[in-house]
């Protein structure tokens, strides 16, 4: 491999890239736009739960319980119902996600030392939100129950739980989503960027000139890949800065380790894009195929949104072939845990294997020979 020819090929690609406004927008604007859009749009946090109360007891104890829900910061009391038949229409219209029903004998049972019932009716059309709302409701009801049980007594509760959350102390979903977004977006953008390169040569009729040059297939592929690798690393750096300063996600790991892992990952994604470009020879088709083979697997099967261990076994096996799965582990480990090479060694090896496979596929698929 001749470094002079490789450098000349890279310079040629940079000149073409500067003249292609679409590619520049795709390279620099799209990653940032996707990060900001998805970073704000995707959230698993549940707050401001629309709540209605049907208090049939109207006692000091029931008001104290309602105040406990209001003071938690998770529930927004929107309606004070007077009849049970108001519950159905309220849930049907979506005006309430939770309805608390306090029966008329609530305070009397508490005063007599007997269990008092509290009914929570939850809108289950969004199963994830309903599950979290029920967990919040149970926690507040249990805390209230303990206060009532030991009010006026000096003895402590029989069990005291002291919990501590590591790595994401506030349990905010943004801290989990943004690092994963960096991996998913880089996978999509890398493949889409280089999916235009070889196809552009065919569509513009410049493949004849390229075929007449003495450069080898490897020099063409690597020469076209290197400028996009630099762009990808810039995108990773800017996305990381946005995650830290715009979204407030902590970064506890090594910048150098992130750049090294990103380089291996981007090599694989860029090589995949050149492979698709060489096979399809059409910019439109290459872009569409690149979107299908990168966006859907990276978004759905990388562990970015859905826990892999909760997927059916065949899909769990399929995730092993999704490179973004390993980069998601790397980005979350570096952002939130601050882990080092020893914890990310396996993921690093697999991403390097992906880089080798991507580049080899691109070289083998690219042919300088013109069709007869």
Structural domains in the chain plus CATH codes? 13-43+172-365 (no CATH), 49-149 (3.40.1710.10)
pTM: 0.82
Res. 189: pLDDT tops 90:
no
Query: Residues for the chain: how many in total?
Result: 372
The mean pLDDT of 5-12, rounded to a whole number, is 85
The average pLDDT across 193-202 equals: 78
Q: Which of 272, 271, 267 is CA-nearest to residue 289?
A: 272
Question: Which residues have C-beta within 8 Å of that of residue 270, sequence separation ≥ 6?
Answer: 190, 191, 193, 194, 225, 228, 229, 232, 358
269-275 mean pLDDT: 91
For 371, list phi and psi in degrees, rounded to 5: -65, 140
- Contact between 143 and 68 under an 8 Å Cβ cutoff? The reply is yes
Is 187 a residue whose pLDDT tops 70? yes
Q: pLDDT: is 1 or 156 the higher one?
A: 1
The answer to whether residue 158 scores a pLDDT higher than 60 is: no
Q: By three-state DSSP, how is residue 51 classified?
A: strand
In this predicted model, what pLDDT tens digit does every residue of 277-330 receive, in sequence order?
888 888 888 888 888 888 889 989 999 988 898 899 999 999 999 999 999 999
- What is the dihedral sign for C-alpha 339, 340, 342, 346? positive
Higher-pLDDT residue of 291, 245 = 245
Using alpha carbons only, how large is the chain's radius of gyration in Å?
Answer: 28
Tell me the average pLDDT across 8-17. 84
Could you tell me the pLDDT band of residue 154, with boundaries at 50, 70 and 90? Answer: very low
Span 18-68, pLDDT tens digits: 887 777 887 888 899 989 998 888 888 788 899 999 999 999 989 999 999
Distance between start and end Cα atoms, the chain: 28
CA torsion sign, 17 to 219 to 201 to 361?
Answer: negative
Pair 32, 242: CB distance under 8 Å: yes
Q: How far is CA 19 from CA 14, 22, 30, 174, 357, in A?
A: 9, 9, 18, 37, 30
- Average pLDDT of the residues of the chain: 86
């Amino acid at each position: 491999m001749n470094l002079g020819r490789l450098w000349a090929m890279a310079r040629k690609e940079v000149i073409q890239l500067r003249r292609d406004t679409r590619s520049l927008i795709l390279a620099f604007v799209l990653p940032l736009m996707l990060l900001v859009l998805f970073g704000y749009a995707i959230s698993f946090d549940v707050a401001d739960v629309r709540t209605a109360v049907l208090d049939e007891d109207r006692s000091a104890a029931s008001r104290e319980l309602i105040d406990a829900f209001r003071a938690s910061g998770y529930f927004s009391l929107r309606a004070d119902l007077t009849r049970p038949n108001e519950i159905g229409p309220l849930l049907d219209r979506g005006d309430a996600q939770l309805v608390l029903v306090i029966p008329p004998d609530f305070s009397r049972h508490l005063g007599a030392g007997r269990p008092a019932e509290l009914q929570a009716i939850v809108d289950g059309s969004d199963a994830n939100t309903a599950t979290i709302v029920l967990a919040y409701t149970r926690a507040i009801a249990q805390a209230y129950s303990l206060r009532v049980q030991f009010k006026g007594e000096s003895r402590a509760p029989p069990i005291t739980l002291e919990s501590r959350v590591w790595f994401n102390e506030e349990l905010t979903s943004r801290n989990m989503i943004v690092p994963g977004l960096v991996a998913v977006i880089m996978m999509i953008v890398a493949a889409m960027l280089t999916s235009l390169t070889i196809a552009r040569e065919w569509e513009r009729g410049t493949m004849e000139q390229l075929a007449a040059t003495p450069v080898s297939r490897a020099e063409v592929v690597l020469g076209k890949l290197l400028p996009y690798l630099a762009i990808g690393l810039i995108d990773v750096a800017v996305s990381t800065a946005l995650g830290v300063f715009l979204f407030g996600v902590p970064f506890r790991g090594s910048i150098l380790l992130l750049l090294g892992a990103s380089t291996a990952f981007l090599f694989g994604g860029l090589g995949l894009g050149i492979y698709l470009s060489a096979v399809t020879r059409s910019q439109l088709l290459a872009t569409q195929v690149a979107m299908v083979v990168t966006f859907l697997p990276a978004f759905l099967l990388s562990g970015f949104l859905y826990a892999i261990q909760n997927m059916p076994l065949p899909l769990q096996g399929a995730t092993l072939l999704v490179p973004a799965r390993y980069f998601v582990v790397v980005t979350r480990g570096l952002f939130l845990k601050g882990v080092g090479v020893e914890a990310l060694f396996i993921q690093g090896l697999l991403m390097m294997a992906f880089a080798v496979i991507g580049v080899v596929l691109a070289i083998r698929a690219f042919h300088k020979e013109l069709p007869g």
